Structure 1
Amino acid sequence: MSEDGAESRAALWRTAAGQRGYFTAAQAVDAGYSHQAQHYHARHGNWLVIDRALYRFREFSELPDEGDEQLVRWSLWSKGRAVVSHTTALAAHDLGTANPARIHLTVPRRFRQKSDAVILHRAELPQSEVEDRMGYRVTTPLRAITECAAAGEDQDILDGAVSEALERGMVTRRRLLHAAQLLGARAELGVERALGAMS
């Protein structure tokens, strides 16, 4: 490998390392890989092709799965504009029994991309309701619970999430009720029922 090639690989590796080994075609270009070079690496199996213009270094796929790698993939798919939310956020926080079949993402109102693998919710989220993880962003436990209540999520899932979040000190009853009130009557009712189930 030439010195330039080694520098390009090192630069791309640094970017991918913070994204569980995933990287976009645009990030590869920024690191110094032409589109022709990208096709070469994909064709020869050096890079795994995950989706259109989305790759992963093979070495990362051989590491033990931490369970949230796919969330990094969808963050890159959205060009960093999506936030993992709703029941997917509950699962990311290990709250309750949520195990959604499709990924829930909250995106800006003007977001135009689509995929059958994800359910998109449109909202402008303040930074105070979002946490940064390695390679993706996720709504806070407080926001995840209340947005699930507002969406009419299964009450058993809400009950478990509220109980565990309170037990682990992630939320307080007062903040939970206040946040639910801000999202409307349906959110408030779901949270009140979950709190009542603990009595």
Structure 2
Amino acid sequence: MFWAQSHRESSQRLFEIAEKQQGFFTTKQAKAAGFAENTHPYHVQVRNWIREHRGIYRLALFPTADRPDLVLWALWSRQRNEEVEGVYSHHTALSLYDLSDLNPAKLQMTVPTDFRRNSDIPSILVLHYADLPESDIQTAQGFRFTRPLLTILDLIEAGTVERNFMRQALRQSVDRGLITRQQIRKARMSGPARKVVEEVLRRVA
């Protein structure tokens, strides 16, 4: 009886963790919830858990979200203390604001300049290195992504998307209130980026 109660309590703790991450959790989080590491293969075998990547699992009965991949690779970017370091940016962030019909095969993620991994970077990820202030980051359920203005400026600087497309995305952002003129005035940007932004602002004035 004690074991059954302990298991229920551990399961509840794990669910509370996974619920904030669209059903996903890490090995360390499972251990913190009360599941000894030597029991993890059993829970995978009996289909309580699904192993999604090394050290990352998902509750089998948890409803699948629209973009489970975003949570999975955010957890991949975590530090030893389990803090997620990756922030979705560039094309990926733009699509999250419904400002783009582009659907690149790879996910764009910005990580700190001191980010290191001993293993290979997953082929689905394209990493950019920058130390982002929290003010430039938006939080969703289980992952983070750059705010609209930084997203657009990053893409203008990268030069990987046609300028006309970026003008359209910027114009839509201003029209929808995702970006304010005050934010634009305060933003640090290069000469070419400033030129694109000011041109759009003149047209929506």
- Shorter-chain TM band: 0.7 to 0.9
Say whether the 8 Å CA contact 2:74–2:85 is kept in structure 1.
Answer: yes
* Structure 1 length-normalised TM: 0.88
Amino acid at match of 2:140: R
Q: Which residue of structure 2 lines up, in the alignment, with residue 98 of structure 1?
A: 102
Q: More deviation in 109-118 or 123-132?
A: 109-118
Q: Which residue of structure 2 lines up, in the alignment, with residue 11 of structure 1?
A: 13
CA–CA separation in structure 2 for the residues paired with 1:197 and 1:42: 56
- Consecutive unaligned residues in structure 1, runs of 5 or more: none
Assess, with a 3 A threshold, how the Cα gap between structure 1 residues 77 and 64 changes in structure 2: closer, same or farther: closer
Cα deviation for residue 73 of structure 1 reads: 1.1
Q: More deviation in 167-176 or 145-154?
A: 167-176
Q: Which residue of structure 1 lines up, in the alignment, with residue 157 of structure 2?
A: 150
CA–CA separation in structure 1 for the residues paired with 2:11 and 2:65: 23
**Counterpart check, 1:38 vs 2:40:** yes
Q: More deviation in 136-145 or 91-100?
A: 91-100
Cα deviation for residue 161 of structure 1 reads: 1.5
Say whether the 8 Å CA contact 2:26–2:75 is kept in structure 1.
Answer: yes
**Deviations 1:111-133 (CA, angstroms, capped at 9, x unpaired):** 11322110111111111111111
Q: Which residue of structure 1 lines up, in the alignment, with residue 148 of structure 2?
A: 141
Cα deviation for residue 101 of structure 1 reads: 1.6
Cα deviation for residue 75 of structure 1 reads: 1.1
CA–CA separation in structure 2 for the residues paired with 1:97 and 1:164: 13
- The number of residues matched between the two structures is 194
What percentage of residue pairs aligned between the two structures are identical?
Answer: 34
Q: What secondary structure does 1:97 align onto?
A: coil
Assess, with a 3 A threshold, how the Cα gap between structure 1 residues 194 and 43 changes in structure 2: closer, same or farther: farther
Amino acid at match of 1:122: Y
Q: Which residue of structure 2 lines up, in the alignment, with residue 65 of structure 1?
A: 65
Cα deviation for residue 194 of structure 1 reads: 5.1
Q: Which residue of structure 2 lines up, in the alignment, with residue 170 of structure 1?
A: 178
- Consecutive unaligned residues in structure 2, runs of 5 or more: 79-83
Say whether the 8 Å CA contact 1:96–1:158 is kept in structure 2.
Answer: no
Q: What secondary structure does 1:48 align onto?
A: strand
